[in-house]
């Protein structure tokens, strides 16, 4: 029975995880529908429960049936193998958010090498360390991330052997830190047979640490981490102010580093700004390489959008891509979010994806998030205020009735959006950035000369609220 379970499990997780977590388990007995397995430690049990409860349920369903139960026996004293039958079960009640795919029990595909979509989905959810969807192949390189990417790739090829140890990558939210660090982990998993790679968020690390204190399993916890060949720890800013967790991390760090094991870390800010992190830890970070990730420039945004729509299997006209790239420049996650909602909009309304639809989608997103105003809103308000059309604003017209509103619109676009001048120019009929600069300067000059200008601006601003 346990062998049958193992076969199911093996199908669903990377080999390394299987070796680490399932090979050490010994089946003890099967009594009715209750299978008892022996696990090496309390920490081990917790890890299984934390990360593999759904997978275990799945395996039980398959091997025993829907009402199969699992009990753990935990070895408490390793010395003389005395074990206390601490029984707990992963019955269905134990994991409230467990959902059983309807076709599971009878699905003949299970246990075969069938690489269908469900399976990939599962392996992603069940194995929380590495997500196979993050790779170097689907990471777009640009000036914004070149150093981090190439250092990451070097580390992936020769883990522990480069001078980039630790490798510390930092940057704002949604700029690809998790993607890169996971890509490194996946690459190592796929290219080295015997390297144990562990990816963990700092939050999870902290929780595990706290639990291990509570359950008196700190030794297990540190032993476990000290065994890995590659440790990737994400978002270390989360460790700020958590002194005890930092102490333990420091020990693990030193131990691994001494053994020449690779350590990779990410943070949302540069190390020098990591307040609440002990100096001795910070000084360790400086031993290796620190590389930053910045917001992608226009060309990189275009490439990322293209890659994303290609992976979704759709095609979108270049003018729409350009529109998006000129309108969203905060981070990659947001860029991806826009594309996803755009596709959803298109399929809901059965419309073609064009600039008009992109415009509406963006407006909705911005409104929902209650964030800054878009350039479209600015143009609408200005057009309405001056009784001209948006087309006028974008036209080549040099008429006074149009030029002044257009200048004000650009001025406000600069003030309200964080778009680069080049993109603002794009939204005004494809003007170049020097025209935008000129407009802004003109408004500044006018303001010095005529007090009404400031007043008009105030009025316009009040419409944005
Ligand atoms: P962070 O961890 O820095 O907050 P993520 O790594 O989670 O950011 O990235 C957010 C999203 O953007 C992910 O879906 C990721 O795949 C994608 N992404 C980020 N950078 C790139 C890039 N250079 N090329 C392709 N996709 C990227
Ligand atoms: Mg992240």
**ipTM of this predicted structure:** 0.99
Q: How confident is the model at residue 367 (pLDDT cuts 50, 70, 90)?
A: low
User: Where do the CATH 1.10.1750.10 domains begin and end in the chain?
Assistant: 375-464
Q: How far is CA 277 from the centre of its chain?
A: 23
Expressed in angstroms and rounded, the spacing between residue 249 Cα and the centre of ligand 1 is 26
Position in ligand 1 atom list of the atom nearest CA 179:
6
pLDDT at 70: 83
| Radius of gyration (C-alpha) of the chain in whole angstroms | 28
pLDDT at 406: 95
Q: Does domain 375-464 correspond to CATH entry 3.10.129.10?
A: no
Average confidence (pLDDT) over 164-190: 94
pLDDT greater than 70 at residue 124: no
pLDDT at 415: 87
pLDDT greater than 70 at residue 56: yes
Expressed in angstroms and rounded, the spacing between residue 333 Cα and the centre of ligand 1 is 6
Q: How confident is the model at residue 81 (pLDDT cuts 50, 70, 90)?
A: very low
Query: What H or E segment, with its residue span, contains residue 263?
Result: strand 262-267
CATH architecture of 146-293: 3-Layer(aba) Sandwich (3.40)
Any residues with CB less than 8 A from the CB of 345 and at least 6 apart, and which?
351, 357, 360, 361
Q: How confident is the model at residue 101 (pLDDT cuts 50, 70, 90)?
A: very low
User: Where do the CATH 3.30.300.180 domains begin and end in the chain?
Assistant: 2-111
Expressed in angstroms and rounded, the spacing between residue 267 Cα and the centre of ligand 1 is 14
CATH topology of domain 298-369: Helicase, Ruva Protein; domain 3 (1.10.8)
User: Where do the CATH 3.40.50.300 domains begin and end in the chain?
Assistant: 146-293
Which carries the bigger pLDDT value, residue 139 or residue 338? 139
**By mean pLDDT, which of 32-36, 155-159, 372-376 is the weakest?**
372-376
CATH homologous superfamily for the domain 2-111: DnaA, N-terminal domain (3.30.300.180)
161 DSSP assignment:
T
pTM (global) more than 0.80: no
Residue nearest to atom 13 of ligand 1 (CA): 333
pLDDT at 170: 96
The angle formed by the CA atoms of residues 424, 425 and 431, to the nearest 5 degrees, is 175
User: Where do the CATH 1.10.8.60 domains begin and end in the chain?
Assistant: 298-369
pLDDT greater than 60 at residue 77: no
Q: Which of 298, 332, 338 to mutate to test the pocket of ligand 1 (most atoms within 8 A of CB)?
A: 332
Residue nearest to atom 19 of ligand 1 (CA): 176
Average confidence (pLDDT) over 442-458: 88
The angle formed by the CA atoms of residues 24, 30 and 33, to the nearest 5 degrees, is 120
pLDDT at 371: 55
Q: Quick: pLDDT tens for 284-324.
A: 888 899 999 999 999 999 999 999 888 888 888 999 999 99
pLDDT at 153: 97
| Ligand 1 proximal residues by C-beta, below 6 Å | 138-140, 145, 171, 173-179, 304, 332-333, 336
């Amino acid at each position: 029975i346990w062998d049958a379970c193992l076969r199911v499990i093996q199908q669903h997780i990377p080999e390394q995880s299987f070796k680490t977590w399932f090979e050490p388990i010994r089946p003890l007995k099967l009594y009715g529908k209750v299978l008892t397995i022996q696990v090496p430690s309390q920490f081990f049990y917790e890890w299984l429960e934390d990360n593999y409860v759904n997978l275990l349920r799945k395996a039980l369903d398959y091997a025993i049936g829907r009402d199969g139960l699992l009990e753990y026996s935990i070895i408490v004293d390793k010395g003389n193998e005395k074990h206390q039958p601490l029984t707990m079960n992963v019955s269905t009640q134990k994991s409230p958010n467990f959902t059983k795919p309807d076709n599971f029990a009878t699905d003949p595909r299970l246990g075969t090498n069938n690489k269908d979509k469900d399976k990939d989905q599962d392996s992603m959810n069940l194995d929380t360390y590495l997500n196979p969807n993050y790779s170097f192949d689907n990471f777009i390189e640009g000036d914004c991330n070149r150093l981090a990417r190439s250092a990451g790739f070097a580390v992936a090829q020769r883990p522990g052997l480069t001078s980039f140890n630790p490798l510390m990558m930092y940057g704002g939210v949604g700029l690809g830190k998790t993607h890169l660090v996971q890509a490194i982990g996946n690459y190592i998993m796929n290219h080295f047979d015997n390297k144990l790679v562990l990816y963990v968020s700092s939050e999870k690390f902290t929780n595990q640490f706290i639990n291990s204190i509570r359950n008196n399993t700190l030794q297990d916890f540190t032993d476990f981490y000290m065994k890995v060949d590659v440790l990737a720890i994400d978002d270390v800013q989360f460790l700020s102010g958590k002194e005890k967790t930092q102490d333990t991390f420091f020990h693990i760090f030193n131990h691994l580093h001494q053994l020449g094991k690779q350590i990779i870390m990410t943070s949302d800010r540069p190390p020098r700004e990591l307040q609440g992190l002990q100096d001795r830890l910070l000084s360790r970070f400086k031993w290796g390489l620190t590389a930053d990730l910045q917001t992608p420039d226009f060309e990189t945004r275009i490439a990322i959008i293209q890659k994303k729509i290609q992976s979704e299997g759709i095609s979108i006209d270049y003018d729409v891509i350009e529109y998006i790239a000129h309108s969203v420049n905060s981070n990659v996650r947001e860029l991806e979010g826009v594309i996803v909602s755009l596709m959803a909009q298109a399929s809901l309304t059965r419309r073609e994806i064009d600039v008009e639809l992109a415009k509406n989608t963006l407006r909705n997103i911005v409104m929902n998030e209650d964030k800054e105003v878009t350039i479209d809103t600015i143009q609408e308000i200005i057009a309405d205020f001056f009784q001209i059309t948006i087309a006028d604003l974008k036209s080549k017209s040099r008429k006074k009735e149009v030029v002044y509103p257009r200048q004000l619109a650009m001025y406000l676009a600069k003030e309200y959006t964080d778009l680069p001048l080049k993109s603002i120019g794009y939204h005004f009929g494809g003007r170049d950035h020097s025209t935008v600069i000129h407009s802004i300067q003109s408004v500044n000059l006018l303001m010095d000369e005529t007090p009404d200008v400031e007043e008009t601006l105030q009025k316009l601003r009040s419409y944005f609220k």
